[in-house]
Structure 1
């Protein structure tokens, strides 16, 4: 069976751990039966007969004591309400008779494999299963056979629907037709084959673009939309809308194939909300926002290098100009026992002090001591060259000259590498001595200081207001 079915993974351990499972499978007395209902739709674009309110009304009229409602695909194995209902039913079945009721079998599943798993769980717990067309005897061989046949037919119908939808989407892509929900400011034409401006939201959409280009933040734009026009849009949806090529008059299709995912563009398919110049301005504004918010560069000098010694997590920093304060990120259930805040300027003072105190130590670690012994690899090569030259001088031979030349070339390359390493170490020493000067840090931006701290591998440990240690 398919191991990725979350229902199987969630429910099987509960079944195995239950030692009081009802295996008698006797028919329950109607008066003492707990009746549970389940209503599901895939999308909101359904007929009135299959809508959630209609299903709930029919289930309540049948006598359901509790009804679970969900909007999800029948092929989705991770349906939270469905799993909650099954878990509730199995728990209640320990003390009373339980029956699960749906308006149609297709509301519960259209996947034969999942159906077999769920029915086995219901069978093991003595839970009855009804739909409004009639009772299904899952405790009898004939009823289980009928259920499996109907489940196979439902899965076949669902697979045909998926195949039809994929074919229609491919045809729409080839013709450059719109797919999915129209973006804000647009609506589908009468023939559903083109996007056209929505007279109710077109001017509002233009105002959103103007406000964004004038420097207004996405949060403020979202609040303005809600207060002024009663339109609820969060910052993430507005940001995605600004990135959409549809507002520039183009269609973009995401095509998933066996060998990967690709994009297909069809240009100038409908009226554009923004001109190419405005589109470039939006892209530039987004780049500036990312740089300012620290996606490309850190915002504070001590970002990412200070950690709480007690919780071993990072520090949240306040956005104050004069003194920036940091507090441990540890929250419930691992709440930090130290409620104090540490100042960023004092952390930087501790970092610079540690660099000044350890400058000589770091320089000695990276620079070789005077009178250092030669590299053993170089000594080995020199001895080999000397032996081959001696042998060639005494015995002659044309092949040895080429071997000697290769060894000498390798020796020269190794010496060049060692010289370059020594020069690099000397430059590093000069840089460290320069960093040890307190005046070096005057006038440097926080982003540049943070990059230097991270290049040096600095980690600062704090405990509340106390700076515990600075590691280099």
Structure 2
């Protein structure tokens, strides 16, 4: 019987400040090679994957495999890749203990659940990570609202527009803005969406958004 431990990895990326998915996977593979684990799979929920969402598809699929008892080790870059929510992460730790699955991180090595003290330390860490991240989110939301209140455009500019040099106001984007005006004019003349799409090359979804925001486009016509 082989003594080699089987392992799976897990990655996700919530924002640009996180380690990239390729970097996370590389670190997981390196740890598995170093420790002699047989890496079976790396589950990946990709980019813009919130750690407060417990319904991530790959995260759930990973849990289902771990529960089978056929995997010995779970490897992640850091604990917060699993979850940012203190309750979810704490319950997942209890599941790992019940399934007899070791948790390893590429930053700290093996996460120990060997005694009451180690459990307490991990529970406190879960709480602190949760509180810290929620405060960051609230601060970011407040900053966004302040920009909106001060007249800054927030988010991706609509089709046909771009942000001015101060990154504050919308201004017409040459070429695309004229295309948006063509969409409005054709619709006013009775053209069907299919005809507009064929003539302008603009998708049906974009046509809909242009028509819904007709006043914004006309307000920039000299």
Same fold (TM over 0.5): yes
Q: Give the 5 Å matches for 1:133-148.
A: 133=107, 134-148=109-123
On the 8 A contact 1:32/1:97 being kept in 2, the answer is no
Separation in structure 1 between the aligned mates of residue 104 and residue 2 of structure 2, nearest angstrom: 13
Tell me, yes or no, if structure 1 residue 54 matches structure 2 residue 23.
yes
- Cα distance change on mapping 1:182 and 1:30 into 2, 3 Å: farther
Gaps of 5+ in 2: 33-38
Distance, in Å, in 2 between the alignment partners of 1:222 and 1:54 is 41
Structure 2 Cα separation of the partners of residues 195 and 276 of structure 1: 9
**Structure 1 partner of 2:8:** 36
1:199 corresponds in structure 2 to 174
Q: Deviations over 1:154-200 (max 9, x none)?
A: 11111111221221133123212112221112222333222222336
- For residue 160 of structure 1, the aligned residue among 135, 151, 176 is 135
With structure 2 as the length reference, what TM-score do the two structures score?
A: 0.80
Give the secondary-structure state (helix, strand or coil) at the position aligned to 1:37.
Answer: strand
Query: 2:25, 2:198 → 1: CA distance?
Result: 35
The 5 Å alignment of 1:419-434 reads none
Distance 2:147 2:60 in 1: 36
Residues 129 and 138, structure 1, Cα contact 8 Å, conserved in 2:
no
Per-residue Cα deviation, 1:376-422 (whole angstroms, up to 9, x for no partner): xxxxxxxxxxxxxxxxxxxxxxxxxxxxxxxxxxxxxxxxxxxxxxx
* Aligned match of 1:457: none
Distance apart, 1:40 and its partner CA: 0.9
| Distance verdict in 2 for CA 1:138–1:185, change over 3 Å | farther
SS of residue in 2 equivalent to 1:87: helix
SS of the equivalent of 2:218 reads coil
Give the deviation of 1:39 after TM superposition: 1.2
1:76 aligned to 2:53? yes
Aligned CA RMSD, in angstroms, stands at 2.9
The alpha carbon displacement at 1:276 in A equals 9.8
CA contact (8 A) 1:189 1:196 kept: yes
More RCO (CA 8 Å, sep 6+): 2
SS of the residue 1:50 aligns to: coil
For residues 93 and 209 of structure 2, the distance between their equivalents in structure 1, rounded to whole angstroms, comes to 42
CA-CA distance at 1:139 after TM superposition = 4.3
1-side partners of 2:220 and 2:170: how far apart? 19
Q: Which residue number in structure 2 is paired with residue 111 of structure 1?
A: 85
Distance in 1 separating the partners of 2:199 and 2:67: 48
Which residue of 1 is the match for residue 104 of structure 2? Answer: 130
Q: Does residue 1:183 correspond to 2:158, yes or no?
A: yes
Structure 1 residue 86 displacement after superposition:
0.9
Q: Give the Å deviation of 1:125.
A: 0.7
Q: Report the equivalent of 1:169.
A: 144
Q: Secondary structure at the match of 2:43?
A: strand
| Counterparts of 1:145 and 1:238, CA distance in 2 | 56
Superposed CA offset, 1:231-290 (max 9, x none): 7x4x3454234324xx633xxxxxxxxxxxxxxxxxxxxxxx22599xxxxxxxxxxxxx
Quote the residue 1:86 is aligned against: 63
* 8 A contact 1:99–1:129 mirrored in 2: yes
Tell whether 2:212 aligns with 1:243. yes
Aligned CA distance change for structure 1 residues 31 and 162 (closer, same or farther; 3 Å): same
Q: Residue 101 of structure 1 aligns with which residue?
A: 75
User: 1:219: Cα distance to partner?
Assistant: 4.8
CA shift, 1:114, in A, is 0.8
